[in-house]
Amino acid sequence: MYPCIDIKLDGILHNISLLKNKCKENNIDFCLVTKMLVGYKKLVEYIIDNADIRIICDSRIKNFSAFSEIDVEKWLIRSPMISEVEDVIRYSDVSFNTELDVIEKLNVEAKKQNKIHRIILVYESGDLRDGCYINELSDIISECLMMENIQIYGIATNLSCVNDTLPDKDNMADFDDTIKKLENHFNRKFKVVSGGASSSIPMLYKNELPESINNLRMGEAVYLGNIPVIDEPFENAKTDNFILKAEIIELKSKPSVPGVKLEETSLIRKRAIVALGKQDVYLPGLKCVDESCTVVGGSSDHIVVDVSDSETQYKVGDIIEFNMSYNCVLNAMNSKFVFKKSFIK
């Protein structure tokens, strides 16, 4: 059935093993980010069972509702919407937060459900997505300490998400200093200090992360073996764990520029159209496995591939394979028109 994503489980487990071992060397807990798996329960269960995962992170509470029977700690790593507070308390154990108004609603709902909900507050380290500066964090912590059904679990930071700000010695030292100041001020140690995600790998491998950091959240590096922003694989990583396959529905020679008749130019190229489109994938993130082929464009339901230089004699009905960037995989995994093939029984 096409189009489909061929998911290579051994490669995913291989990457997790490498990253977990490196985290362990640095006294850091490894968390698996599952948002790219978009609620694919069997796949998540398989990875948890075979990689000994204790904590999973996701940005959509709906995905956690599908995982309600999976016995691991579940972290909602996007600040909750007030409209979803009831489900946040029901389906997650921990949520990342930056707004006191939301935390107050979580406290009320947690009391209704007779639960203690743990929160991780987010510090702004310079990427300018979600996060608070130290004075606001201090104010929020003061308020949270008076809430009966909220427990402050830790502090986290995000980098490389919006403005490609990589973790470095300066912003990590600032984060470390913030942690120490807050712990001294409130005379308490945070159980979790989560210092970033896949973009932290260069510092992790050089043992340059501050000692206060005891947690990292990994997604892209696990699934694609890739370090964000740098856009390079980490050492010994498997990078072909998600291969997109699409069927050729047209194969014709056409001018290489639009608006020109076939008989009016010598610039003729062989173009394959595959049954896949922009509603399924992020086109800039697609690269043909056959490196002599090139994605030249597409529409909502069609992708055009120049196959002129390939040694393969493609024909209608053949399959073209693509490597994908993180955003591309995320789109394709979300598409109901793309079949997911992982060989899980």
Given 35, 41, 278, 287, the catalytic residue: 35
| CA 122 – CA 125 distance, rounded (Å) | 9
- CA-nearest of 196, 111, 210, 116 to 156 is 196
Q: Which amino acid is residue 160, in one-letter code? A: S
**What is the β-pairing status of strands 73-76 and 55-58?**
parallel
| Torsion, Cα of 125, 130, 134, 138 (10° steps) | -150
Q: Note if 35 is an active site residue.
A: yes
- CA-nearest of 232, 322, 238 to 281 is 322
| CA 243 – CA 13 distance, rounded (Å) | 16
Tell me the torsion sign for CA atoms 38, 43, 48, 51: negative
Place of tokens 């090139």: 294
| CA 80 – CA 107 distance, rounded (Å) | 13
Residue 256 and residue 308 in contact, taking contact as beta carbons nearer than 8 Å: no
Taken as a whole, the chain contains a residue count of 345
| CA 193 – CA 288 distance, rounded (Å) | 40
Q: Backbone dihedral region of 197: left (phi > 0), alpha (psi from -120 to 50 degrees) or beta?
A: beta
Catalytically annotated residues: 35
